[in-house]
Amino acid sequence: MTELICIVCPRGCHLKVDEENGFSVTGNSCPRGAEYGRAELTNPTRVVTSTVRVEGALHPRCPVKTNVPIPKKLVFEAVRALNGVCLEAPIAAGQIVVKNVCGTGADFIATRNLERR
């Protein structure tokens, strides 16, 4: 039995996951908590957010995120994949910045608009 705090939403339910019983979850207030509890002990994943360089915009950095969660053990490698990337304004939110991050199938996408100036 493992105790976890669900991080899917700010409510932060205290979960108990039973590894011996097919990773059944108790303590969750909604189905997403059960899914999180199971995934956290079998294949934990995270959405990764960071920034990349951008030229010709109001700011020198553009925020990005992975469009889907990636395996937790690849988080550092994913951030390294952003080193040396430089975008050119204008940027549209949702625009792909790095495709198929570390072979996970996830893409880094821009999370804001940045006009050219």
Partner 1 sequence: MLDLIVIGGGPAGLAAACSAWEGGAKNIVIVERDRELGGILNQCIHNGFGLHYFQEELTGPEYAGRFIRMLKSTGVEVRLDTMVLDVTEEKEVHIVSAAEGYRVLRAKAVILAMGCRERARGAISIPGSRPAGIFTAGAAQRYVNIEGRMVGSRILILGSGDIGLIMARRMTLEGAKVLACVELMPYSGGLNRNIVQCLQDFGIPLYLSHTIVDIKGNARVEQVTIARVDARRKPIPGTEKIFNCDTVLLSVGLIPENELSKKAGIRLDRRTNGPVVCENMETSVPGIFACGNVVHVHDLVDFVTAESQRAGAAAAEYIARGERPGCDVLELTNGDGVAYTVPQRIRRSGVKKSAEVFFRVSRVCGRSTLCVRCGDGDIAEFKRDHLAPGEMEHIVLPKALLEKCGSGNLTISVKEVSHD
**Which residues of the chain form contacts with ligand SF4 (CB under 6 A)?**
6, 8-9, 11-13, 28-30, 32-33
How many C-beta neighbours within 10 Å does residue 13 have? 20
Q: How far is the CB of 36 from partner 1 (least distance, A)?
A: 10
Is residue 79 helix, strand or coil? Answer: helix
- Tell me the residue type at 33: G
* Residues, the chain: 117
Binder among 2, 3, 9, 105 for partner 1 (CB under 8 A): 9
Structure tokens at 75: 């988080």
Closest distance of CB 60 from partner 1, Å: 5
Site string for partner 1, 47-86 (x = CB under 8 A): xxxxx-x----xxxx-x-x------x--xx--x-------
Neighbours of 14 (CB within 10 A): 12
Q: Is 43 helix (H, G, I), strand (E, B) or coil?
A: coil
- The contact set with partner 1 (CB under 8 A) reads 4-10, 12, 14, 46-51, 53, 58-61, 63, 65, 72, 75-76, 79, 93, 111-113
